[in-house]
């Protein structure tokens, strides 16, 4: 299955079906979920990474639990718009996820998401220990909210890659 452009997800908006957002880090995966109207993203959890197969199984388990139609993965684009080694790791994870599931997978530019969340938490005078506990799932929320904001401003296309 292909990795979709974020704009194509609008075509698959279904009543009651949500989107899952993930922030894929070296040690953890932050997870967020949309509401059923695709307006608001909320933090869900943090998955401790072990290996690729277990990581994918954990993400798919949450996707099934929340009855999602799509997964939005943060893509760490460099500030100049180029793709570095981390971006290629996210693309590979997205490809693997899409090959193992019928759930739609899309990438979303996550430039500065962790920085923005960390600054917000620092402004809230949150301790370093507490920030480290929540930053990944809040970064996933930030990523997913950006995608949701984009999706509410586009008209769904009539072209579908998959037949449901």
- Domain ranges in the chain? 6-151
Residue 114: pLDDT band by 50, 70, 90 thresholds?
A: low
pLDDT exceeds cutoff 80 at 126: no
What is the percentage of the chain residues whose pLDDT exceeds 90? 45
SS3 for 103?
A: coil
Mean pLDDT for the stretch of residues 125-150: 76
Its pTM stands at 0.82
| Residue 103: predicted pLDDT | 92
Q: Which of 24-28, 62-66, 75-79 has the lowest mean pLDDT?
A: 75-79
CA distances from 13 to 17, 122, 146, 153, 155 (A): 7, 36, 16, 13, 11
Give the Cα separation of 154 and 120 in Å (integer). Answer: 29
Coil, helix or strand for 38? Answer: coil
Residues whose CB falls within 8 Å of the CB of residue 134, separated by 6 or more in sequence, listed in order = 43, 121, 126
Q: Give the chain's length.
A: 164
What crossing angle do the helices spanning 52-65 and 85-99 adopt, rounded to 10°?
A: 60
Coil, strand or helix at 104: strand
Is the domain defined by 6-151 classed in CATH 3.30.420.140? yes
Q: Is 76 a residue whose pLDDT tops 70?
A: yes
Question: Tens of pLDDT along 137-146?
Answer: 888 998 999 8
């Amino acid at each position: 299955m292909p990795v979709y452009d974020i704009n194509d997800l609008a075509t698959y908006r279904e009543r009651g079906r949500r989107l899952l957002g993930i922030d894929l880090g070296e040690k953890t995966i932050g997870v967020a979920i949309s509401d059923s109207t695709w307006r608001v993203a909320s933090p869900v959890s943090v998955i401790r990474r072990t290996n690729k197969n277990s990581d994918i199984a954990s993400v798919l388990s949450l996707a099934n639990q929340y009855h999602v139609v799509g997964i939005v993965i943060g893509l760490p684009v460099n500030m100049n718009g180029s793709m570095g080694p981390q971006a290629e790791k996210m693309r590979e994870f997205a490809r693997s996820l899409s090959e193992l599931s019928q759930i739609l997978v899309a990438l979303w530019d996550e430039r500065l998401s962790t920085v923005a969340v960390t600054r917000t938490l620092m402004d809230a005078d949150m301790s370093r220990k507490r920030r480290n506990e929540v930053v990944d799932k809040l970064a996933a929320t930030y990523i997913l909210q950006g995608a949701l904001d984009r999706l509410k401003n586009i008209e769904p296309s009539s072209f579908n890659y998959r037949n449901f």
